[in-house]
Amino acid sequence: MMLQSYMQGMLVGFSLIIAIGAQNAFILKQGLKKQYVLWLCIICAASDSILILLGVFGFSQIVQSHPEYVDWAKYFGATFLLFYGAQHLWASIQGSSGLAPSEKNETKLLKMVLICLALTWLNPHVYLDTVVLIGSISTKFENTELYFAVGAITASWLFFFILGYGARFLLPFFQNKYSWRILDLLIAMVMWGIAASLLI
């Protein structure tokens, strides 16, 4: 049961974080430029860890006092995921996703850290993914929510370090627009699958 909760936490974490957003695109670009990858990956993963713990345990405490919030959170989360999945499906059809690596000039660490913090803590999607969505899904894991949270946190640390340090090997792949279409389609299917699990 504990291992199952941990693995499902990892699956949910990976499925939510894999979407190419501002935070991930930033790490990917810095990885391609090989600039401050370690520090930036730590900042992103540590921030996600804090927000995931707040979502899982803070949300659970609220639910204990107001169980009616569970239904609201599930419907809100499912609606967001359905819309989020539809966006990626449309991007897959249109072939509109893509990422142009920026120039390789050296930039100061402090500036990069501030940009990374802003992309993380000022991005509403980060709160939706970690605090709201992961928090709402965690309510289904009574007594094993800690393992679910650790699984989601593990996924975050693995993802950012793989993305940051593996980016240099991904450039040829991401120059092909069809690879972005496949990625968007997979993200859409995963988002809709999670939405269905919330509603069933």
What is the percent of the chain with per-residue pLDDT over 90, rounded to a whole number?
Answer: 27
b/e string for 62-82 if b means 16 or more Cβ within 10 A?
ebeeeeebeeebbebbbebbb
Distance from C-alpha of 115 to C-alpha of 107, rounded to nearest angstrom: 11
Quote the pLDDT of residue 32: 80
User: Containing H/E element for 46?
Assistant: helix 37-53
Entry pTM:
0.71
pLDDT bracket for residue 154 (50, 70, 90): very high
Quote the pLDDT of residue 44: 95
SS (H, E, C) 77-145: HHHHHHHHHHHHHHHHHHCCCCCCCCCCCCCCHHHHHHHHHHHHHCCHHHHHHHHHHHHHHHCCCCCCH
**Ranges 15-29, 47-61, 94-108, 167-181, most confident:** 47-61
CB distance 139 to 63 below 8 Å: yes
The three-point CA angle 77-60-64 to 5° equals 115
pLDDT at 60 over 80: no
pLDDT bracket for residue 101 (50, 70, 90): low
CB distance 35 to 139 below 8 Å: no
Quote the pLDDT of residue 53: 93
Domain span at residue 160 reads: 2-199
CB distance 82 to 191 below 8 Å: yes
pLDDT bracket for residue 159 (50, 70, 90): very high
Instruction: Name the more confident of 53 and 123.
Output: 53
DSSP secondary structure code for residue 66 in this structure: -
Quote the pLDDT of residue 17: 85
DSSP secondary structure code for residue 199 in this structure: H
Residue 107 — φ and ψ, nearest 5°? Answer: -125, 150
Quote the pLDDT of residue 106: 59
- Tally of domains in the chain: 1
pLDDT per residue over 167-200, tens digit each? 888 778 777 778 878 878 888 887 788 788 778 7
Write the single-letter amino acid at 177: K
